[in-house]
């Protein structure tokens, strides 16, 4: 019987190791309707980024807390009486973004996240913004884009583009004493059949020429 070398404690052959990098802080969040892609597509046929136009401006949210990006999946086990659970079938329903918004102004942005009506702006001397809250338009979809620069010196970043998104769920504006007003926001990123199959829900990109 041969002697097993200590090098056998690690795999041999082709190996991809994790980068020793940490991403800190929440991304900056943008949305647009109907939305134009900044890369439509890029040379590798990926659709990502947002391009603001007069008819389709990009809205940038201000201050928010507890930003989370997640996945909603239906999981069904395939059972076999001889061995138990033989397989799990998974189907992605949607992706989601949740956060607590503390920058509630201007109304031209707030009305979208609250699913309100069009904003009427009266400039000086009146200086007002007005919008109503009526029925929810379930046909209204956005594109969203959120990105985080993790190396300020080189501009390296990661970013996510959602292709068919909606603000969903009931909202409540909290008004605590001596604290900022806040409202919990949820956006779902649904499948978009106009996208390539591998990008139906979202497209992720990392830019880091020094490491890739």
- Does the residue 179 lie in any domain? yes
Average pLDDT over residues 28-40: 94
Average pLDDT over all residues of the chain:
94
pLDDT at 191: 98
Does residue 15 surpass a pLDDT of 90?
Answer: no
Coil, strand or helix: which one is 109? Answer: helix
Q: Does any domain span residue 7?
A: no
Domain assignment present for residue 98? The answer is yes
Number of structural domains in the chain: 1
> pLDDT tens for residues 163-204?
999 999 999 999 999 999 999 999 999 999 999 999 999 999
Identify the band that residue 1 occupies on the pLDDT scale cut at 50, 70 and 90.
low
Rounded mean pLDDT of 94-111?
Answer: 96
Give domain status of residue 74, yes or no.
Answer: yes
Task: Examine residue 8 and state whether it is found in any structural domain, yes or no.
Answer: no
Q: Identify the burial level of 134 via C-beta atoms within 10 angstroms of its C-beta, where 0-12 means exposed, 13-18 middle and 19 or more buried.
A: exposed
Q: Is residue 159 part of a domain?
A: yes
The answer to whether residue 19 is domain-embedded is: no
Domain assignment of residue 77, given as a range: 26-207
Determine the pLDDT at residue 13. 86
**Which of the 8 DSSP states describes residue 51?**
-
Give dist(CA 94, CA 135) in Å, integer.
24
Say if 14 falls within a structural domain: no
pLDDT of residue 7: 78
- For position 41, what pLDDT does the model report? 96
């Amino acid at each position: 019987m041969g002697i097993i070398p200590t090098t056998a404690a690690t795999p041999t052959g082709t190996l991809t190791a994790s980068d020793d990098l940490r991403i800190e802080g929440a991304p900056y969040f943008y949305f647009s309707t109907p939305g134009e892609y900044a890369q439509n597509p890029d040379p590798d046929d990926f659709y990502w980024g947002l391009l603001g136009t007069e008819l389709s401006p990009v809205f940038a949210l201000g201050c928010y807390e507890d930003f989370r990006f997640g996945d909603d999946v239906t999981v069904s086990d395939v059972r076999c009486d001889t061995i138990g659970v033989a397989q799990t079938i998974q189907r992605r329903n949607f992706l989601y973004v949740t956060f607590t918004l503390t920058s509630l102004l201007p109304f031209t942005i707030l009305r979208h996240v609250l699913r309100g009506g069009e904003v009427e702006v009266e400039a000086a001397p009146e200086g007002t913004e007005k919008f109503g809250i009526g029925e929810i338009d379930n046909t209204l979809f956005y594109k969203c884009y959120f990105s985080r620069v993790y190396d300020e010196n080189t501009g390296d970043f990661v970013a996510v583009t959602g292709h068919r998104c909606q603000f969903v769920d009931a909202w409540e504006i909290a008004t605590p004493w001596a604290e900022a007003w806040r409202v919990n926001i949820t956006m779902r990123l649904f499948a978009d059949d106009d996208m390539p199959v591998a990008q139906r829900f979202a497209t992720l990109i990392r830019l880091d020429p020094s490491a890739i």
